[in-house]
Amino acid sequence: MFGLPSSATLQSLLNQVAPLATEGSAPSGPIGGLFNGTRMWAAVVNRDGAICSVAASRQDPTQVWPGSQAIAKSKAFTANAFSLDTLALSTAMLYTFTQPGHSLWSLGQSNPFNPQALAPTGNPEASTGGIAGGMIFFGGGVPLYQNGKIVGGLGISGDTSCADHEVAKGVRNAAGLNPPGGKTADDISYDQGIGPDAPSPFTHPLCLNTWKNGVFKGTENNATGY
């Protein structure tokens, strides 16, 4: 529907954005994270929230985190559910709003994930056609657009949430499904002080080995005080 990518196209786009042969040093600029975006699940939903396609970046999908299949589907659902023609909201942009003490705390309880939307690792397309639901509020989900109109959502999972966002942004751009404001209209924003990454209600924390648009941004702080 509306030219949304098939499962085969999704896999091809994943490997175009983060080529397997260049794990750790993709030529278009590092994705970052643990695997440089080379071990991903991707899912696409239409405007109704129904799953249209699912794919893993590896020919052997057991080498992509099994838990990421559900997360990718939930990210696609979330990005579609809270975006409009006039406002593209990536899941990364919802992080701060949904933390304890903020205005959308407990939003995740509104649309729980349906476990019947899961599929065997070797046959991910078995889940297409249904609505998975699920709410995810960290990087990796982006809305999809055609001719300025929202037509669905894309979810990516399999690495850090920051790397997931970079891959989602790249896959959407390669598919020609960017929002009216372009590839970075709903880009992730990190608390880095001033300029486009100044702290705001849309801020997302850094992850391990965080890159943004080919520029190294830093890394997540070590745990302290346990």
Q: What is the CATH number of the domain that holds 47?
A: 3.30.450.150
Residue numbers of the domain that contains 156: 7-218
DSSP H/E element including 170: helix 161-174
Supply the pLDDT for residue 28: 45
Q: Is residue 49 part of a domain?
A: yes
Rounded distance between C-alpha atoms, residue 78 and residue 220, angstroms: 24
8 with 124: CB under 8 angstroms? no
Closest to 178 measured CA to CA, from 147, 211, 137: 147
SS3 content of the chain, % helix, strand, coil (to 5): 30, 20, 50
Q: Is residue 2 part of a domain?
A: no
CA quadruple 46, 84, 9, 111: dihedral sign: negative
Domain count, the chain: 1
Q: Is residue 194 part of a domain?
A: yes
Q: Is residue 37 part of a domain?
A: yes
Q: Is residue 1 part of a domain?
A: no
Rounded distance between C-alpha atoms, residue 4 and residue 92, angstroms: 22
Q: Is residue 80 part of a domain?
A: yes
Rounded distance between C-alpha atoms, residue 130 and residue 164, angstroms: 23
CA-based R_g, the chain, Å: 16
Supply the pLDDT for residue 43: 97
Supply the pLDDT for residue 121: 79
Q: Is residue 225 part of a domain?
A: no
Supply the pLDDT for residue 2: 58
Residues 6+ apart with CB under 8 A from 121: 56, 61, 62, 66, 69
The segments of the chain whose pLDDT lies below 70 read 1-2, 21-29, 192-199
Per DSSP (E only), the strands in the chain are: 41-46, 51-56, 141-146, 149-157, 189-190, 203-204, 210-212, 215-218
The 10s digit of each residue's pLDDT in 106-153 is 898 898 898 888 888 777 777 777 899 999 999 999 999 999 999 999
Strand pairing report for 203-204 and 189-190? parallel
Q: Is residue 208 part of a domain?
A: yes
DSSP H/E element including 13: helix 7-17
Rounded distance between C-alpha atoms, residue 17 and residue 30, angstroms: 10
